[in-house]
Chain A
Amino acid sequence: MKTTQKIQQKLKNNFLFPKFLALFSLFISAVFLVIGFLSFFSIIDLSINKLLALITSVILSAAFFFLAKGFYTLQNWARTTLLSILLLVILVLLVKIIFEFSSIVFAGKQVLSIGEILKYIGEYFLRTILYISIPGILFYFLYECDEVFSETPKQRHMFDYTVKNFLLGTALSSILIVIFIFIFTFQESELAISEIGLNELLTGTIWRPGAIIGTGESHFGLVPMIIGSIYSTIGAIIIGIPLSFGTAILLAEIAPHSIRTIFRTAIELLSGIPSVVYGLFGMVVIAPLIRMIPIEGNTTGFGILNASIILSIMILPTVTNITEDAIRAVPQSYREASYALGATHWQTIKDVVLPAANSGIIAAVILGISRALGETMALIMVIGNSIAIPSPINDNPLSIIFSTARTLTGNIAVEINYASGAHRSALFFTGVLLFLFLLIINRLANHIMKEKKTS
């Protein structure tokens, strides 16, 4: 398009536009200064502390003064600063418009009909153009003006230096978050430690936050929840490990390529299913099935058995993937040596490959345990959430699997919304406990996996 090219050409050689911006910035700078002084000397009244207003206005005025200087001398940093500000303004405006538009279209009891939506789209589109046009045009002109501006090598170096340190800052964000998690959760749990005491928390067998029940005494023993977590995890391991190992060995050693692809897609899908869906499935499908088992005392279908089944499926993708990777990492030369000695494939797997992969396999199990201990919502839906210590429902001790229970994670999620005081603090303490424990075993697993890589 000839006209845009002409405009672009003009902009690139035009020194007037930056000078105009310089003048404009100078003007804004002066305005800020004037407002500051007027406010300080009580000639006009802004509802903020006078000294604060003066200081702020002086700072802002100085900033715009430097910006003006930058534009006048055609420095690139001034251009970049103004471009960033304009971009931010445009973004904020866009966000506001989107929220407004969504409110009108979606917020009602019923989403609006297509006809009405179109009408509003038209209206909001025009609005967007109106709001965005001013900063947008300014942005465009400034963007195309790039050849007029320049920067010194020293400035470029400062820019590189700033970029490097800024990126270091983003890299440190993770450890900062970890530190904050530590600080805040520890702080919140302090009340529990001082008022309830570690002894009661870690060895007490009754959990009864008194305020809810109405009785005077409250107990905050976490042992029932600890047992609940442990039993459900053990159950998940018992059911899940054979499944995962079997699938992993199958995929790594035996299955042909096409089947392997199908399996991998399936496992990927399994890992993507939200945990609430698993919980729902446990409630609606597994529970009735369990209820059908003719054992005395089996009434609800919820409990450790249900939780173990659901959990085992949830940890399947993790354990399978890591185990499969560990098996594949065993050098082909080991297998060839075994075959050459006349061993069968299965013997090779059993006696050579699996032992060689054992550190990866152990890591896989540890990560599976960590996943099982960390799961919350699905377990709330299927484990029954009773606060008593799980115990066999009839004379047979094995029937403990039909007992309902509550996990540490479930405890937190179910009660946090209405807990207060020491009760709430105890829940945070549970969080800290979980956090520290999982930290240790995750580091252990990572350590084992790294050692394997280096050996």
Chain B
Amino acid sequence: MPSLLSKENLKITAQKFNLFYGDFQALKDINVDIPENAITSIIGPSGCGKSTFLRSINRMNELIPSVKTDGGIYLDDEDIYTQDVVELRKRVGMVFQRPNPFPKSIFDNVAYGPRAHGLKNKAVLEEIVEKSLTDSALWDEVKDNLNKSGLALSGGQQQRLCIARALAVEPEVILMDEPASALDPIATLKIEELIQNLKKEYTIVIVTHNMQQAARASDYTMVFNMHPDRSGYIIEYGKTSQIFTNPQEKITEDYISGRFG
């Protein structure tokens, strides 16, 4: 597959990808590469289809009946539409904008994914739960009482719980849809630190409205915009440093410097 970025290992590529809600085209001709073990951020004005594209990567947008897609998205050079969707979602995890822990205990929240995929050995589950909570920087705060309800935690803790829950199925890619937008600044910082640590083992794609966050925290950036017919497309993408200091397109430059968006 010809790549538009050279030298890096590509985890996900989109080729001529289009998405329709019924007759309305939400994404038009998306072509992009997402490298492995790096943080790629998706920025752009509201309504350009950033979240829609994110949710296409793990086929979550299939939950909406009127959705039709065209073109391909490839995970490790394999078309995601040829794979079993349940297996795909094991490899590609998601963290949502608003923390959504289940009304179960902390332990059961994290263990839910592995259990759903067939793991029942209690000792192994305990290990997985501890590792996931440690990796999401929540272990020290909850290790004394894993039976507490997940809903009894603070907002920032809940989001870290959701991250731990996503890590527990040992995905290869983690998709994050504005994970810190519902949190206070201190919790946001914690999440950002966490994401930096995660990139060693996982490929991370994160939609964000916060350009400072994108500029300081991600390795690669893709910039979305809207056509006059309200379909979304990618203006350009590349290394974050290059996008923010030397953007190729004027629209990108205008957006980054705050002239619109």
Contact = CB atoms under 8 A, between A and B. Distances in A.
Q: Do chains A and B touch in the complex (CB under 8 A)?
A: yes
A147 B121 contact: yes
Nearest to A12: B121
B120 A153 contact: no
Of B84, B118, B120, most A-chain CB atoms within 10 Å? B118
A190 interface: no
A28 to B, nearest CB: 29
Interface in A146-186: 146-147, 150, 153, 156
Contact of B87 (A147, A150, A153): A153
A29 to B, nearest CB: 29
A150 B120 CA distance: 12
A447 to B, nearest CB: 27
Contacts of B118: 150
Interface string A117-151: 00000000000000000000000000000110010
Nearest to A154: B84
Interface in A6-50: 12
Contacts of A12: 121
A150 B119 CA distance: 11
Nearest to A151: B118
Contacts of B120: 146-147
A153 B121 contact: no
Interface string B62-91: 000000000000000000000010110000
Contacts of B86: 153, 156
A153 B84 CA distance: 8
Interface in B78-108: 84, 86-87
Nearest to A153: B84
Nearest to B84: A153
Interface in A307-363: none
- Name A's interface SS: helix
A156 B84 CA distance: 11
Contacts of B84: 153
Interface in B126-168: none
A150 B117 CA distance: 11
Contacts of A150: 118
Contacts of B87: 153
A410 to B, nearest CB: 50
A319 B105 CA distance: 44
Contacts of A156: 86
Contacts of B121: 12, 147
A315 to B, nearest CB: 40
Nearest to A144: B120
Nearest to A76: B118
A156 B117 CA distance: 11
Nearest to A156: B86
B83 to A, nearest CB: 10
B175 to A, nearest CB: 22
A163 to B, nearest CB: 14
Nearest to B118: A150
Contacts of A147: 120-121
B79 to A, nearest CB: 17
A156 B198 CA distance: 32
Nearest to A146: B120
A156 B121 CA distance: 21
B246 to A, nearest CB: 47
Contacts of A153: 84, 86-87
B111 to A, nearest CB: 15
B78 to A, nearest CB: 15
A240 to B, nearest CB: 43
A12 to B, nearest CB: 7
A156 B86 CA distance: 10
Nearest to A150: B118
Interface in B145-203: none
Nearest to B87: A153
B86 to A, nearest CB: 7
A424 B121 CA distance: 64
Contacts of A146: 120
Nearest to A5: B122
Nearest to B119: A147
A274 B215 CA distance: 71
Nearest to A149: B118
A132 B91 CA distance: 44
B66 to A, nearest CB: 20
Interface in B28-84: 84
A153 B83 CA distance: 11
Nearest to A157: B84
A147 B120 CA distance: 7
A151 to B, nearest CB: 9
A266 B120 CA distance: 50
Nearest to A147: B120
A156 B118 CA distance: 12
Interface in A398-412: none
B251 to A, nearest CB: 43
A155 B118 CA distance: 14
A316 B168 CA distance: 56
A147 B125 CA distance: 13
9 contacts: A12-B121, A146-B120, A147-B120, A147-B121, A150-B118, A153-B84, A153-B86, A153-B87, A156-B86
Identify the 4 closest CB pairs spanning chains A and B, nearest first.
A153-B84, A146-B120, A147-B120, A147-B121
Interface of B: 84, 86-87, 118, 120-121
Given A147-B121, A153-B84, 7 more contacts: A12-B121, A146-B120, A147-B120, A150-B118, A153-B86, A153-B87, A156-B86
